[in-house]
Each structure stands twice: as structure tokens, then as C-alpha cells.
Structure 1
Amino acid sequence: MPESLRRLNINEKAKITSIAAGGEISRRLRDMGLTPGTIVQVVGRAPLKDPVALKLRDFILTLRNNEADVIMIEKMENAS
């Protein structure tokens, strides 16, 4: 069942299933490499939980929680 990327804990991995936004934010997220089928892993969070640091495609990307809210994911089993 798809859920928001914001729900992932540190070190959890997931596959992006869709971007639940349109227009500029959707284009911007896709330009950053956040496309359906991409595997992402949460590698850190700021002290106040915003932003979140993600590892994808051999680089680290930080997103604000409002951006992570529109990225739908499926958690990967046995992610470590």
C-alpha cells in the first residue's frame, strides 16, 4: 500500500511509486531524480525532523517535509 516518503525512518529503503502533485513541484522533484521506480533510503533528519536526507542514485539529496509528503512510496522488505 503506497504511503508518503515522510513516513520512512532512518535507514529504511523504499521504491517511489508516484508523485502526488502536479505543476512546478512535480517537475522540480522529477528533475532532482525522484521518479517512479527509483529506490531511496533515508540517511538522516535534522534535529526538528525537517529536512530529511535521502540517498538515491549514488548521491545525497535533502527535501523538506512538505516535498516528501507528495512522494508516494512502497517500503522495501528487509531494508537495512
Structure 2
Amino acid sequence: MIIVLIYRWDVTLAELGRNESCRIINAALDDSELQSRLYALGLYPGIEVEVLRFAPVGDPIQVRTGLALLSIRKQEAALIEVEKIT
């Protein structure tokens, strides 16, 4: 018997801390309307993003992608799968 373990080290954008950088893997795969909006904002697979700060209650999250600064609801950020960049 062969057992294969698959480890996923990916996290969501909502799980990152301040000043952490990541690369987007998937964005809102189950919600095509939200996915279209995120793509229009420039948040699509392959793009590098840096978490800048959080609002006082932790929502929304401000991120930088290229020269753009965006604020994203934590609920939406939880649907963006990323890989950390060290």
C-alpha cells in the first residue's frame, strides 16, 4: 500500500500579517462576479501583493500591487489563495 501525503503551504490573503508579501495563486474561484471585480482591480494569479496595514478592527486590509494601493474586505481576502514570498 502506498500513501501519498500532499501538503499545501498556501494561505489566503486574509491570513497574512502586516508587511508580508505574496503571489496570488487563485482569486475567488467559486464566485465569478467577485473574481471579475478582483481581476478588474488587478488582483489575478501571478501578481505580487504586499499587505500594508489593517483598519483598527482588522477589516478592511490595505494592500499594494505595483504602484496601486487597494483596500479589500477581509471576507473577500479570505477567498484569495496566495503563496508567501520570503
The answer to whether the superposition gives a TM-score over 0.5 is: yes
Other structure's SS at 2:43 match: coil
Residue 71 of structure 1 deviates from its aligned partner by 0.4
Q: Kindly provide the amino acid, as one letter, of the partner of residue 28 in structure 1.
A: R
Correspondence for 2:22 among 11, 14, 17: 14
Q: Which residue of 1 aligns with 2:13?
A: 5
Q: Kindly provide the amino acid, as one letter, of the partner of residue 59 in structure 1.
A: A
TM-score w.r.t. structure 2 length?
0.85
Residue 57 of structure 1 deviates from its aligned partner by 1.7
* Structure 2 residues without counterparts, runs of 5 or longer: 1-8
Residue 3 of structure 1 deviates from its aligned partner by 1.2
Q: Kindly provide the amino acid, as one letter, of the partner of residue 55 in structure 1.
A: R
Other structure's SS at 2:75 match: helix
How many residues are paired up?
A: 77
RMSD: 0.9
TM-score w.r.t. structure 1 length?
0.91
Residue 15 of structure 1 deviates from its aligned partner by 0.3
> Quick check: which has more Rg, 1 or 2?
2
* Structure 1 residues without counterparts, runs of 5 or longer: none
Residue 54 of structure 1 deviates from its aligned partner by 0.1
Q: 1:3-62: per-residue Cα shift (whole Å, max 9, x none)?
A: 110011000000000113332111111110001000000111000000000000211000
Q: Which runs of 4+ in 1 moved over 6 A?
A: none
